[in-house]
């Protein structure tokens, strides 16, 4: 049997796509990739380096309509005889994987954070406050891998890329407009994140957060109150009711660390907390703490990172 | 316009998470259940706003046991007209979604709304599964929704931005932050909720596809290392040499 990986290749090959192919390879079966859109053939061929034997691309699918992509993946899974389908748990997977589960009557594990152990797979539950081990009882399996849970492993050689007709039918959803701020690093897949809360006192002070993010090559994030009062856009809100992230480094300035905020960030590998209040609960979840004023510490940290980058 | 809103219970966001029976069951001891915030703040409240603007009805649907009735009454207190409870333990997302789809197929709903995920299992599965079972378009992670005649315009979250989409009803939509503001039920709503219809229906024969075998809690963090706020070079050195993240 083969393992089929769906990747989103519309904006190039993101790291989370390479993670998904690497994950599939580690499951042991032959790995096929299916994707939609007009991605460059040579670029898709590089997925072979991560373990794919073949990439199938349907160039007729213009949008990420979940009905069309479900039909595409179903057709591809039948064509290659796949019993396991892997996604990266991004916004497309969240719409498509559940549909595919019903269509194929395949058990779906969403938000996997590790390879299967025995016959179960570890996932985040209770918004990152615990882990669950989920077992699939159906014959077919779908696993949607949380970004930044495993590292991509290259080293193989390029693979073949074939045009594929997924019989996707018509879309009943019209895409009117896509709005994407230029130059920002998308938060869900960022490895480094600089975040700030109400301690920053106003949106006009976010320059120092952005300065630090820029020198680090980090994404910016914020706490819920900051998004609610409109200092920052909603898509930057991390926490229980916002985005859950698991970067390598999370720097939090002026965020007290309420349990709902921690739920969104406690998958981070390393947490740095900057706060004037030594009693802030966030220090208990932090690896490194700085008891001090963000207005002084952030610019100082930015300078220290600049100095480090210049000498490395 | 007939709107169906999927309602799940979830533990209060401040609940301490623990497990019993050899880490195979969620410890409900001392846990207060609420309406899952995504279902309540975004899906239900937006549904009520659309009803207030365009007329129609808002029905909630829950797969659960009689223990969930107090959470369902809360949704009625916020303003839903009536509620359906499919009388079964919601064993997995597939089971839950197929039960809801079975009911919704016969209901003639224009919109089926769900929260983007529950805060206990975080699966983001039920909405998409319902859509597939009903062969309807599915728009996920919607942060804005407006209805004009039979056409719905939505803003949805995508990686690093938003998309504006348009589709005709009937539709299934998963709702994210931005759709609406939380509503606190008033005394009149709470009183009225007591007598609103809560229809309990028998489940369809559906088998779950997945099961939770066990749970674990994250390992406790070692003590936080405090750094002199004057000495950010030290922090950078630690992040590079010790934590190896930069």
Reported as a single tens digit per residue, the pLDDT across A167-184 is 999 999 999 999 887 667
- Rounded to a whole number of angstroms, the distance from the CA of A58 to the nearest CA of chain B is 20
Residue B241 lies in a domain: no
Mean pLDDT, to the nearest integer, of A199-226? 96
What is the Cα–Cα distance from A26 to A9, expressed in whole angstroms? 21
Domain of A42?
2-163
Pair (A159, A255) in one structural domain: no
Render pLDDT for B225-239 as a digit per residue (tens, 0 to 9).
Answer: 999 999 999 999 999
Average pLDDT over residues B202-222: 93
Question: Taking a C-beta distance cutoff of 8 angstroms, is the pair A64, A87 a contact?
Answer: no
Domain that holds residue B67: 2-215
pLDDT digit string, tens, across residues A246-269: 899 999 999 999 988 998 998 899
Q: For A16-25, A78-87, A93-102, B151-160, which range has the lowest pLDDT when averaged over its residues? A: B151-160
Residue B239 lies in a domain: no
| pLDDT tens-digit readout, B60-81 | 999 999 999 999 999 999 999 9
Contact criterion met (CB below 8 Å) for B71 and B118: no
Residue B234 lies inside a defined structural domain of this protein:
no
Spell out which residues of chain A touch residue B218, defining contact as CB-CB under 8 Å. 129-131, 266
Q: Do B226 and A296 touch (CB under 8 A)?
A: no
% of chain B exceeding 70 in pLDDT: 100
> Is A153 a residue whose pLDDT tops 90?
yes
Residue B187: the pLDDT is 96
pLDDT at B160: 75
* A7 and A102 housed in the same domain: yes
What is residue B206's DSSP assignment?
A: -
Residue B210: which of A65, A107, A192 has the nearest Cβ?
A107
Confidence (pTM): 0.93
Q: Does A226 share its domain with A288?
A: yes
Does a structural domain hold residue B47? yes
Residues A195 and A156 in one domain: no
Residue A252's SS3 state is: strand
pLDDT of residue B131: 98
pLDDT category of residue A128 using cuts at 50, 70 and 90: confident
pLDDT in the model for residue A41: 96
CATH number for B182: 3.40.50.620
The pLDDT score that the predictor gives to residue B80 is 98
Chain B contact for A7, CB < 8 A? Answer: no
Residues A176-198 have a mean pLDDT of: 87
Does A173 map to a domain? no
The reported pLDDT for the residue numbered A102 is 98
The enclosing domain of A205 has a CATH number of 3.40.50.1220
Beta-sheet strand order (sheet of A270-275)? A219-222, A192-196, A249-253, A270-275, A288-291, B225-227
| Measured CA angle at B219 (ends B18, A146), to 5 deg | 90
The whole-angstrom separation of Cα A86 and Cα A3 is: 7
What's the average model confidence in pLDDT over A100-126?
96
On whether residue A303 sits in a domain, the answer given is yes
Asked if A266's CB is within 8 angstroms of B162's CB, the reply is no
Give the confidence band of B158 by pLDDT, cuts at 50, 70, 90.
confident
Is the per-residue pLDDT at A202 higher than 90?
A: yes
**B139 closest CA partner among B166, B99, B118, B177:** B166
In-domain check, residue B14: yes
Q: What pLDDT shows up at residue A312?
A: 84
Which of A74, A97, A102, A147 is best to mutate for the B interface (most B CBs within 10 A)? A102
Name the residue in chain A with its Cα closest to that of B40: A241
Report pLDDT for A305. Answer: 97
In the prediction, which pLDDT does A185 show?
79
Is position A12 within any domain?
yes
Is A297 inside a domain boundary? yes
Task: Please tell me whether residues A200 and A143 are part of one structural domain.
Answer: no
Q: How confident is the model at residue B157 (pLDDT cuts 50, 70, 90)?
A: confident
Please give the residue of chain A at the shortest CA–CA distance from B173.
Answer: A95
Residues in chain B with CB shorter than 8 Å from the CB of A230 are none
Task: Indicate if A126 and A268 belong to the same structural domain.
Answer: no
A216 and A92 in a common domain: no
Q: Does A303 touch chain B (CB under 8 A)?
A: yes
Mean of pLDDT over chain B? 95
Size of interface A-B (CB pairs under 8 A): 277
Is residue B76, in this structure, part of any structural domain at all? yes
pLDDT of amino acid B209 = 98
Pick from B122, B127, B139: CB nearest A127: B122
Question: Given B128, B157, B209, which is nearest A137 (Cβ)?
Answer: B209
Per the prediction, chain A carries an average pLDDT of 95
Going by pLDDT thresholds of 50, 70 and 90, the confidence category of residue B199 is very high
CA distance B223 to chain A (A): 7
pLDDT top residue among B194 and A1: B194
Asked whether residue A176 is assigned to any structural domain, the reply reads no
| Residue B34 pLDDT class (50, 70, 90 cuts) | very high
Query: What pLDDT does residue B66 have?
Result: 98
Q: Render pLDDT for A60-96 as a digit per residue (tens, 0 to 9).
A: 999 999 999 999 999 999 999 999 999 999 999 999 9
B121 touches chain A (CB under 8 A): yes
Asked whether residue A295 is domain-assigned, the answer is yes
**Residues A120 and A198 grouped into a single domain:** no
pLDDT over threshold 80, residue A33: yes
C-alpha B159/C-alpha A90 separation (Å) is 8
**What is the number of structural domains in chain B?**
1
Q: Are residues A37 and A90 in the same domain?
A: yes
Per the structure, the count of domains in chain A is 2
Q: Could you tell me if B240 lies within 8 Å of chain A, comparing CB atoms?
A: yes
Read off the pLDDT of residues A266-305 as tens digits, 9 standing for 90 and up. Answer: 889 999 999 999 999 999 999 999 999 999 999 999 999 9
Residue B190 pLDDT: 96
Domain contains B96? yes
End-to-end CA distance of chain B: 54
Query: Could you tell me which residues come within 8 angstroms of residue B205 by beta carbon, excluding any fewer than 6 positions away?
Result: none
Peptide bond into A140 cis (omega under 30): no
- Kindly state whether residue A169 falls inside one of the protein's structural domains: no
The answer to whether residue A260 is domain-embedded is yes
CA B38/CA B47 separation, integer angstroms: 13
Q: What is the pLDDT of residue A160?
A: 98
| Together in a domain, A117 and A214 | no
Residues A97 and A240 in one domain: no
Distances from the Cα of B93 to the Cαs of A238, B8, B206, in angstroms? 24, 11, 11
- Please indicate, yes or no, whether residues A146 and A89 belong to a single structural domain of this protein: yes
A163 and B CB contact within 8 Å: no
| Residues of chain B neighbouring A260 (CB-CB closer than 8 A) | 13-14
> CA A243 to CA A187: how far, in whole Å?
8
Q: What is the CATH number of the domain that holds A46?
A: 3.40.50.620
The last residue of one of the domains, among A114, A147, A163, is A163
The count of C-alpha atoms lying within 13 angstroms of the C-alpha of B71, restricted to the half-sphere facing its C-beta, is 25
């Amino acid at each position: 049997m083969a393992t089929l990986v769906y990747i989103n290749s519309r904006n190039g090959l993101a790291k989370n796509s390479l993670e998904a192919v690497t994950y599939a390879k580690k499951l042991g079966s032959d790995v096929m990739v299916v994707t939609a859109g007009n991605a460059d053939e040579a670029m898709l061929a590089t997925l072979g380096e991560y373990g794919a034997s073949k990439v199938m691309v349907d160039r007729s699918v213009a949008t990420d309509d979940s009905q069309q992509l479900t039909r595409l993946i179903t057709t591809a899974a039948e064509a290659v005889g796949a019993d396991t389908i892997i996604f990266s748990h991004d916004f497309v997977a969240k719409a498509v994987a559940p549909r595919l589960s019903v269509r194929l009557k395949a058990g779906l594990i969403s938000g996997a954070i590790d390879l299967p152990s025995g016959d179960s797979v570890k996932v985040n539950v209770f918004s990152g406050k615990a882990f669950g081990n989920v077992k699939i009882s159906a014959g077919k399996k779908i696993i949607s891998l949380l970004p930044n849970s495993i590292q991509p492993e290259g080293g193989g050689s390029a693979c073949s890329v074939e045009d594929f007709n997924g019989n996707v039918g018509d879309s009943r959803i019209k895409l009117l407009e896509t709005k994407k701020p230029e130059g920002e690093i998308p938060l869900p897949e960022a490895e480094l994140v600089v975040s700030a809360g109400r301690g920053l006192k106003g949106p006009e002070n976010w320059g120092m957060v952005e300065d630090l993010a820029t020198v680090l090559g980090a994404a910016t994030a914020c706490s819920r109150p900051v998004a609610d009062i409109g200092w920052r856009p909603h898509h930057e809100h991390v926490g229980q009711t916002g985005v859950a992230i698991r970067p390598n480094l999370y720097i939090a300035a002026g965020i007290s660390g309420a349990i709902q905020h921690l739920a969104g960030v406690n998958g981070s590998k390393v947490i740095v907390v900057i706060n004037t209040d030594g009693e802030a609960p966030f220090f208990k979840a932090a690896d490194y703490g700085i008891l001090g004023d963000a207005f002084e510490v952030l610019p100082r940290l930015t300078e220290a990172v600049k100095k480090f980058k210049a000498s490395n | 316009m007939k709107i169906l809103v999927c309602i799940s219970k979830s533990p209060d966001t401040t609940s301490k998470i623990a497990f019993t029976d050899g880490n195979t069951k969620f410890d409900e001891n001392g846990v207060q259940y609420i309406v899952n915030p995504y279902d309540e703040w975004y899906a239900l409240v937006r549904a009520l706003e659309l009803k207030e603007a365009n007329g129609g009805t808002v029905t909630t649907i829950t797969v659960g046991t009689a223990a969930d009735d107090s959470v369902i009454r809360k949704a009625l207190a916020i303003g839903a007209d009536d509620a359906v409870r499919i009388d079964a333990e919601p064993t997995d997302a597939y089971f839950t979604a197929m039960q809801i789809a079975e009911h919704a197929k016969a209901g003639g709903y224009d919109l089926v709304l769900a929260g983007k995920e529950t805060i206990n299992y975080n699966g983001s599965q039920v909405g998409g599964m319902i859509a597939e079972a009903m062969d309807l378009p599915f728009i996920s992670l919607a942060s804005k929704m407006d209805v004009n005649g039979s056409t719905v315009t939505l803003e949805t979250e995508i990686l690093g931005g938003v998309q504006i989409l348009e589709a005709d009803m009937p539709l299934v939509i998963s709702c994210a932050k931005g759709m609406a503001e939380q509503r606190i039920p008033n005394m009149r709503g709470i009183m009225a909720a007591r007598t609103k219809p809560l229809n309990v229906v028998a489940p369809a024969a559906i088998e779950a596809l997945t099961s939770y075998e066990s749970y674990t809690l994250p390992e406790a963090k070692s003590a936080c290392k405090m750094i002199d706020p004057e000495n950010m070079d030290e922090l950078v050195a630690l992040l590079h040499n010790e934590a190896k993240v930069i």
